[in-house]
Amino acid sequence: MPEQVPVIAIDGPSGSGKGTVTQLLAERLGWRVLDSGALYRLVGMAVDGAGIGFDDTNKIIKIANRLHAEFNDGRILLDGRDVTDLIRTEAAGNNASKVAAMPGVRAALLDWQRGYARPPGLVADGRDMGTTVFPDAGVKVFLTASAAERAQRRYKQLKEKGLPANLAALRSEIEERDARDRTRAASPLLAAPDAIEIDSTALGIDEVVQRVLQQAHRVYATSL
């Protein structure tokens, strides 16, 4: 029962720093992490790999329901194949955003995500953690940053990995993905009414983590 386990829900658009903030919070608290975006990325990759069109909703939902993925020691396996790095590409992010707009896909992943809420606590990273998956989370954060800043961060990450990157293309991909995530009917990217909104454009990651930790201490004082 997710509501009995302490949950910190971190939502926001891609590149807002959610992933890093989530990892740091989980390390500090000794809690588990749910990277919900990875699940949508895996569905997108399975669809792509099966050669199914991204408009074939029925087949895509079947794939989401039968997804065979494992998370082991920081590695992610899809049908036994290590796809840890492959799912991080922009193409995989865009495919994820297409399948994520389908209510049947979201429904297929719901219980799986809720199953991550186990003691001592969970830090959940996504778009709808505070609104749909963990509406009873004690701490909800909506993390944003300007599109220009997010494109710049992504550009730096790719360059550091020695991967090709084009700043203008990244920015338009980010904006296109945001628009799709924000305007879809099923669980759109939206701050929960009780979420704390933090704009990380001009803030260091440590400052963001500190703010969330303060809130977690206030809410979950006895569990920390």
Site string for ligand C5P, 68-97 (x = CB under 6 A): -------------------------x--xx
Is residue 144 part of the contact set for ligand C5P (CB under 6 A)?
no
Residue 32: partners with Cβ closer than 8 Å, 6 or more residues away: 26, 116, 118, 121, 122, 123
Is residue 195 part of the contact set for ligand C5P (CB under 6 A)?
no
The single residue among 2, 121, 126, 130 that binds ligand C5P, judged by CB under 6 A, is 126
The single residue among 60, 63, 64, 100 that binds ligand C5P, judged by CB under 6 A, is 100
Site for ligand C5P in 27-46 (CB under 6 A): 36-37, 40-41
The Cα 158–Cα 76 span in angstroms is 19
Is residue 12 part of the contact set for ligand C5P (CB under 6 A)?
no
Q: How far is the CB of 178 from ligand C5P (least distance, A)?
A: 8
Number of residues that bind ligand C5P (CB under 6 A): 14
- CA pseudo-torsion sign 37, 41, 44, 46: negative
Q: What is the DSSP letter of 17?
A: S
Centre a 10 Å sphere on the Cβ of residue 75 and count the other Cβ atoms it contains: 11
Is residue 173 part of the contact set for ligand C5P (CB under 6 A)?
no
Q: What are phi and psi of 10, to 5 degrees?
A: -115, 110
The Cα 79–Cα 92 span in angstroms is 17
